[in-house]
Amino acid sequence: MTKIADIDLGEFPLLLAPMEDVSDPPFRALCKANGCDMMYTEFISVEGLIRDATKSVQKLDIYEEERPIGIQIFGANIDSMKRAAEIVEEAKPEVLDINYGCPVKKVVCKMAGAGILQDIDRMVKLTDEIVKSTSLPVTVKTRLGWDDKTQYIEEVAERLQDVGIKALSIHGRTRKQMYKGEADWSLIGKIKENPRVHIPIFGNGDIDSPQKAVEYKNRYGVDGIMIGRASIGYPWIFREIKAFVETGEIIAPPTLQERVAAAKQHLTHSIEWKGERLGILEMRRHYTNYFKGLRNIKYYRSKLVTELDPSVLFEILSQIEEIYSKEVSLA
């Protein structure tokens, strides 16, 4: 049984990675419905949070049906991080997560996100201060290191555990790699073999199929898997992995009707939560995966990613269901 503090996540939990402009409430609802065990919000700037910036504050929105959920923050200033932790605590998530993994230049240049991997002592001190300042269980998401020469993740795991974090999620790449190349889980496996490490260790990076999830579970002994990019536009990845872990069987992919219904639900809630224009724009990255594999879908996809009228978008989605249902019935 895997637990973060006293939060029971089951035998082998699947986690939704925090992703900017992706892991918002409309998308999280679909992931939860399809078997995700724990989700994290989009990462939130502590500077934006303490300045009451609308976009940052809105990311604190969580709903009862999403629990357990973690709110993730990023920053570099200790005082700002501690003040933000107090604000997060008021939102009453199950977990406060610190982002030490974001590789984006505008975050890294401020020594936030993966930038702090250049100064492990600072990372440990900052984490220690946050753990002491909140009653919430604190978890961390990070990478193997800054570059190939500084993959200190084994030391980091021990030291962060020693200052009180309750779980560690590790993306199997360095900051220098960004999202290129193949994720290396070998160091993640070494941490699981370390007798000193007793907190849950979640692996992240390149898990895009049930078979790979089970292969990495068995090979590296992780306590659970965090899934990011493979879930975009495909929340069914969680139920597919769960079924394969439990039964060893590959279940049928979502039907065309399920795909269209999910896209419509997602678009509806995205507009409700973000407003019409932003809700429509931020849905666009999901359409490719919602309808991946459908023959000649490019024509409809190009319409979905250029149209700004919600009524027209819903009509296009209905057309996809109608036209491709006929193709399936003729097959």
The catalytic residues are 102
Short-list 5, 6, 7, 28, CA closest to 16: 28
> Cβ–Cβ contacts within 10 Å for residue 297, how many?
18
Q: At 60, list the tokens.
A: 């604190």
Q: Which residues are within 8 A (CB) of 316 and not within 5 positions of it... i.e. 6 or more apart? A: 300, 303, 304, 307
Question: What is the largest distance, in Å, between two alpha-carbon atoms of the chain?
Answer: 64
Query: Taking a C-beta distance cutoff of 8 angstroms, is the pair 182, 206 a contact?
Result: yes
Q: How far apart are CA 318 and CA 331, in angstroms?
A: 20
Q: Which residues are within 8 A (CB) of 312 and not within 5 positions of it... i.e. 6 or more apart? A: none
Residue matched to tokens 């997060």: 88
